[in-house]
Amino acid sequence: DAKTTQPPSMDCAEGRAANLPCNHSTISGNEYVYWYRQIHSQGPQYIIHGLKNNETNEMASLIITEDRKSSTLILPHATLRDTAVYYCIVRAWNTGNQFYFGTGTSLTVIP
Amino acid sequence: EPEVTQTPSHQVTQMGQEVILRCVPISNHLYFYWYRQILGQKVEFLVSFYNNEISEKSEIFDDQFSVERPDGSNFTLKIRSTKLEDSAMYFCASSDSGRADSNQPQHFGDGTRLSIL
């Protein structure tokens, strides 16, 4: 199963940055960290992924610690539409090419 | 932006009937997947498909399930004799690469809600 640990829920004020943590202390050297979100039973939506360097795209930033044992997804200016379940997934290279989804973090953006 | 499309959005079927769920992956993608999510539970991997054959499948994907790429654009999941416990959201996904040491993400459709009566 997924080798990640995330808080079950978080709140964030609208317009503020949402910082979602993920622990992946057993990550291997060639495993990437992926973030997806799922809004109200829609399909999982890809957000961002990275290996060791910090990454940024139009949706979010991904900060990976130097030892790669944890990461943080940052939504710089959260909106009500960012309310969703956020999944941090480590790609397990020796168990095939599927993604293992855990229970994620339920983020609620508060007006 | 290209996207994965799934039809129908909702399928209601009598128990014991066959059902086919359809997906159109992103056009230049080569790797295809089915996942399911029972209401209130995790998203679970069912099967991956490449080069016209199954590359990986989970314990859930038993003999009642099959997948097919009948033409150059569609990817289907068939459940031969549906059971009540098959009621779930079924998500199709595709990616440029299915290699586990590749970093390409999978892109998901919005799913088909399957309800077995």
- Pair A10, B77: CB distance under 8 Å: no
Three-state DSSP class for A82? helix
Mean pLDDT of A79-97: 83
Of residues B21, B26, B17, B10, the one with CA closest to residue B46: B21
Pick from B31, B43, B98: CB nearest A44: B43
Among A45, A51, A99, beta carbon nearest to B45: A99
pLDDT digits (tens, 9 = 90+) for B10-63: 999 999 999 999 999 999 888 899 999 999 999 999 999 988 999 889 999 999
| DSSP count for chain B of H helices, then E strands | 0, 11
- Predicted local distance difference test score (pLDDT) of residue B16: 97
Which residues does chain B have within 8 Å of residue A46's beta carbon, measured at their own beta carbons?
A: 105-108
User: Coil, helix or strand for A42?
Assistant: coil
Q: Is B35 helix (H, G, I), strand (E, B) or coil?
A: strand
What band does B98 get if pLDDT is binned at 50, 70 and 90? low
**Which pLDDT band, with edges at 50, 70 and 90, does B109 fall under?**
very high
| Contacts of B100 by beta carbon, 8 Å cutoff, 6+ apart | A91, A92, A93, A94, A95, A96, A97
